[in-house]
């Protein structure tokens, strides 16, 4: 069975694939602006805390289900709880990543456009002001055609990688791009922290301002940690189903989480010092990377235009790669379901889901322009897809997975899977603590987050 489905060749490639899924627009686009809006270092502390105590247990719960069954969400739940309704819960999680992919690929498309722009050296003109950059971005996303073309191209790249399978596609792609992402972001950070005036940005990231840490900032930090580790949507479960049976789940989970956290923090240090150096307010919001940063590049362009061109090319390439390594994991959840359960060929499954995500993505993309007055629950289609998934479906999915492992599966089976039949010493030692977090702490915390999101 495992052989037919494919698997990851080594621990290194498995971690690169999982870390690739985790590291994405969430780290470079969402994290820095949320830090900026919610009190800098204080937000980062809550984020770290929830990643370690809440997200790692959820991550482990998902990977226990995946590796135990070597099946995707629906089949895995069905195998572990046969004859129950759990499989339909698993089925639900097939849709969440596809909805995320639909709007994510719109932003992925924007990053292609901006990468191409950086290649034509369009950001080094110091005469172009902030308003102009915002106007250019506003015109671009609200136009009908160009964003759609790039949305399509972005999704097509995903489809091609997925068609090549677990080893030939996902593994081959992520074992190269994930390490490259780290090199790129470190280079950008080194540049950024050495800019004149960068110190204020560094201080902002290391001195917590707890007065800004409101209830909603706390919730955002936790939600961001979920989003960043790709939890609750079956991506980690599906990737874990491609692990070899003797793989160490604690090690893969630990390194994936560490790489993701590290990347988010380095991205913060790559962006905030530059924002402060250019004299801009840190709470710029979602437009940060497409409006503020091009402006920052152009202010730097006055002194060293070539350096500014190089940094802007590297920066938009980083965003594009980061988006791609995440989006392929979203598409894989649905493809794995169709291949495992419906016995469809990989190619057919990919084409089918490509079409579905493309269509919903078109609506999301147009919701910045021609469809901007179409509202769902009082939001544009793009915002509705984002909120529905990150505030509800992801938390709900996470609850489902921890609940399943903590309360539905037999403790002996969970221990067996986590310790590989008792053969991993460290895992044996920490098992009781991990199990306690999966069974009690994580579900309680998720329920609080879920209800608070409902009330907000
Ligand atoms: N973790 C990804 C990011 O940080 C987003 C993601 C969400 C990926 C859900 C897969 C599933 O951008």
pLDDT-derived band of residue 97, with 50, 70 and 90 as boundaries?
A: very high
User: Is 70 exceeded by the pLDDT of residue 208?
Assistant: yes
pLDDT score recorded for residue 434: 97
What residue spans of 245-304 are helical by DSSP H? Answer: 249-277, 293-301
- How far is ligand 1, taken at its centre, from the CA of residue 150, in Å? 20
User: Is 70 exceeded by the pLDDT of residue 330?
Assistant: yes
CATH number at residue 75: 1.20.1740.10
d(CA 107, CA 6): 30
Query: Using one digit for the tens of pLDDT, what is the confidence trace for 120-166?
Result: 887 877 778 788 888 999 999 999 899 999 999 999 999 999 999 99
pLDDT score recorded for residue 279: 82
Domain that holds residue 233: 2-455
CB contact at 8 A, 246 and 420: yes
pLDDT score recorded for residue 454: 83
- How far is ligand 1, taken at its centre, from the CA of residue 103, in Å? 12
CB contact at 8 A, 436 and 442: no
Ligand 1, residues 17, 21, 105: which to mutate, most atoms within 8 A of Cβ? 21
- How far is ligand 1, taken at its centre, from the CA of residue 326, in Å? 6
Query: Residue 257's CB: how many other CB atoms inside 10 A?
Result: 22
**Highest mean pLDDT of the ranges 43-52, 53-62, 307-316:** 53-62
pLDDT-derived band of residue 3, with 50, 70 and 90 as boundaries?
A: very low
CB contact at 8 A, 267 and 27: yes
Tell me which residues have their CB closer than 6 angstroms to ligand 1.
21-22, 24-27, 97, 100, 227-228, 230, 233, 235, 326, 329-330
pLDDT score recorded for residue 308: 84
User: Is 80 exceeded by the pLDDT of residue 456?
Assistant: no
Nearest CA to ligand 1 atom 11: 230
User: Is 90 exceeded by the pLDDT of residue 299?
Assistant: no
User: Is 70 exceeded by the pLDDT of residue 2?
Assistant: no
Structure tokens at 367: 């919701």
d(CA 41, CA 32): 11
Choice among 293-297, 298-302, 335-339 with the minimum mean pLDDT: 298-302
Cα–Cα nearest to 236, from 374, 120, 93: 93
Structure tokens at 284: 């710029």
Nearest CA to ligand 1 atom 10: 230
Residues in the chain: 456
CB contact at 8 A, 160 and 152: no
Query: Using one digit for the tens of pLDDT, what is the confidence trace for 423-447?
Result: 999 999 999 999 999 999 999 999 9
What mean pLDDT do residues 258-286 have?
86
Query: Using one digit for the tens of pLDDT, what is the confidence trace for 368-421?
Result: 999 999 999 999 999 999 989 988 899 999 999 999 999 999 999 999 999 999
d(CA 134, CA 70): 47
What mean pLDDT do residues 321-331 have?
97
d(CA 65, CA 240): 8
What DSSP character marks residue 282?
S
Q: Hey, what's the torsion of the CAs at 91, 94, 96, 100, to 10 degrees?
A: -170
Backbone angles phi, psi at 379, to 5 degrees: -125, 160
pLDDT score recorded for residue 302: 67
Cα–Cα nearest to 397, from 448, 443, 456: 443
**Percent of the chain residues past pLDDT 90, beyond the cut:** 69
What mean pLDDT do residues 161-185 have?
96
- Give 160-168 contacts, CB < 8 A, sequence gap 24+: 161/324, 161/328, 162/328, 162/331, 162/332, 162/335, 162/346, 162/350, 163/346, 163/347, 163/350, 165/6, 165/346, 166/5, 166/6, 166/7, 166/8, 166/242, 167/6, 167/7, 167/8, 167/9
Cα–Cα nearest to 412, from 435, 433, 443: 435
pLDDT score recorded for residue 34: 85
How many domains would you assign to the chain? 1
């Amino acid at each position: 069975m495992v052989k037919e489905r494919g698997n990851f060749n080594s621990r290194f490639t498995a971690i690169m694939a999982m870390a690739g899924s985790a590291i994405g627009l969430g780290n470079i686009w969402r994290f820095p602006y949320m830090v900026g809006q919610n009190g800098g270092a204080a937000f980062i502390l809550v984020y770290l805390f929830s990643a370690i105590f809440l997200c790692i247990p959820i991550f482990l719960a998902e990977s226990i289900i995946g590796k135990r069954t070597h099946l995707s969400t629906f089949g895995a739940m069905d195998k572990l709880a046969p004859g129950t309704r759990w499989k339909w819960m698993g089925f639900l999680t097939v849709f969440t990543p596809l909805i995320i992919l639909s709007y994510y690929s719109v932003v992925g498309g924007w990053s292609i456009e901006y990468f191409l722009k950086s290649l034509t050296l369009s950001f080094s003109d110091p005469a172009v002001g902030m308003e102009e950059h915002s106007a250019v971005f506003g015109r671009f996303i609200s136009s009908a055609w160009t964003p759609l073309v790039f949305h399509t191209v972005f999704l097509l790249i995903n489809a091609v990688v997925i068609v090549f399978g677990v080893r030939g596609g996902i593994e081959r792609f992520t074992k190269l791009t994930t390490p490259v992402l780290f090199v790129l972001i470190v280079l950008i950070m080194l540049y950024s922290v050495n800019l004149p005036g960068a110190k204020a940005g560094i201080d902002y990231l290391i001195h917590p301002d707890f007065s800004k840490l409101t209830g909603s900032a706390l919730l955002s930090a936790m939600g961001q940690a979920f989003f960043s580790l790709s939890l609750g949507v079956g991506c980690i479960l599906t990737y874990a189903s491609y692990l070899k049976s003797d793989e160490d789940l604690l090690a893969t989970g630990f390194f994936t989480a560490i790489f993701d956290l590290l990347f988010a923090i380095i991205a913060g240090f790559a962006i905030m010092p530059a924002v402060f150096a250019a004299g801009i307010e840190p709470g710029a919001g979602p437009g940060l990377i497409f409006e503020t940063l091009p402006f920052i590049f152009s202010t730097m362009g006055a002194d060293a235009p070539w350096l500014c061109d190089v940094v802007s090319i590297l920066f938009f390439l980083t965003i594009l790669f980061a988006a791609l390594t995440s989006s392929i994991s979203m598409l894989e959840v649905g493809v794995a379901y169709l291949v495992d359960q419906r016995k469809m060929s990989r190619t057919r499954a990919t084409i089918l889901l490509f079409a579905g995500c493309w269509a919903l993505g078109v609506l999301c993309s147009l919701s910045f322009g021609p469809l901007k007055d179409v509202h769902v629950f009082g939001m544009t289609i793009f915002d509705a897809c984002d909120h529905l998934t990150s505030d509800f479906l992801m938390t709900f999915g996470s609850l489902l997975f921890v609940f399943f492992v903590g309360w539905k599966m037999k403790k002996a089976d969970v221990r067996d899977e986590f310790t590989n039949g008792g053969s991993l010493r460290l895992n044996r030692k920490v098992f009781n603590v991990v199990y306690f977090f999966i069974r009690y702490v994580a579900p309680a915390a998720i329920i609080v987050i879920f209800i608070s999101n409902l009330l907000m």
